[in-house]
Amino acid sequence: MHRICTAVGPKLPHETSTFSDRAVRGITCRPKAAVAAALWLVLLGATPRVCMAQSGEPIKPIPLEPQLDLRKVALGDRLFHDKRLSKDNSLSCASCHDLSKGGVDGLPSSIGIGGAKGPINAPTVFNSSLNFRQFWDGRAASLEEQVAGPVHNPKEMGSNWTEVLGKLAQDGPLVGEFKATYRDGLQTRNIQDAIAVFERSLTTPNSRIDKYLKGDQKALSPDELLGYQLFKAYGCVACQGVNIGGNMFQTFGVMGDYFEKRGNTTVADLGRYNVTKSEADKHVFKVPSLRNVALTAPYFHDGSAKTLNDAVDVMFKYQLGRPASAQDKKLIVKFLHTLTGEYKGRPLQRADSDAARQP
Cα 286 to Cα 283: distance, rounded to the nearest angstrom: 10
Give yes or no for residue 338 binding ligand HEC (CB under 6 A): no
Write b or e for each residue in 44-61: b if 16 or more Cβ atoms lie within 10 A of its Cβ, otherwise e.
Answer: bbbbbbebeebebbbbbb
H-run or E-run covering 249 = strand 249-251
Residue 115 dihedral angles phi and psi, to the nearest 5°: 80, 15
Q: Which of 19, 40, 126, 135 binds ligand HEC (CB under 6 A)?
A: 135
Q: Which of 110, 181, 201, 296 binds ligand HEC (CB under 6 A)?
A: 110
**Minimum CB–partner distance for residue 168 and ligand HEC (Å):** 13
Cα 11 to Cα 24: distance, rounded to the nearest angstrom: 12
Give yes or no for residue 332 binding ligand HEC (CB under 6 A): no
Site map for ligand HEC, 34-73, x if CB under 6 A? ----------------------------------------
Q: Find the part of the chain contacting ligand HEC (CB under 6 A) among 66-74, 119-127, 171-179, 351-359.
A: 119-127
**Minimum CB–partner distance for residue 5 and ligand HEC (Å):** 24
Q: Of 56 and 341, which has the nearer Cβ to ligand HEC?
A: 341
Q: Of 50 and 148, which has the nearer Cβ to ligand HEC?
A: 148
- The type of residue at 151 is V
Residue 117 dihedral angles phi and psi, to the nearest 5°: -85, 120
* Burial status of residue 217 (CB atoms within 10 A of its CB: 0-12, 13-18, 19 or more): exposed
Residue 134 dihedral angles phi and psi, to the nearest 5°: -110, 155
Rule CB under 6 A: which of 67-96 touch ligand HEC?
80, 85, 91, 93, 95-96
Site map for ligand HEC, 192-231, x if CB under 6 A? ---x---x--------------------------------
Report CA-CA distances (Å) from 216 to 206, 240, 291. Answer: 11, 19, 19
The four Cα atoms 107, 111, 117, 123 give a dihedral, to 10 degrees, of -50
Q: Of 97 and 329, which has the nearer Cβ to ligand HEC?
A: 97
Give yes or no for residue 250 binding ligand HEC (CB under 6 A): no
The 8-class DSSP code of residue 98 comes to B
Active-site residues, by number, are 156
Binding site for ligand HEC (CB under 6 A): 80, 85, 91, 93, 95-97, 110, 112, 118, 120, 122-123, 125, 128, 131, 134-136, 143, 146-147, 150-151, 156-157, 195, 199
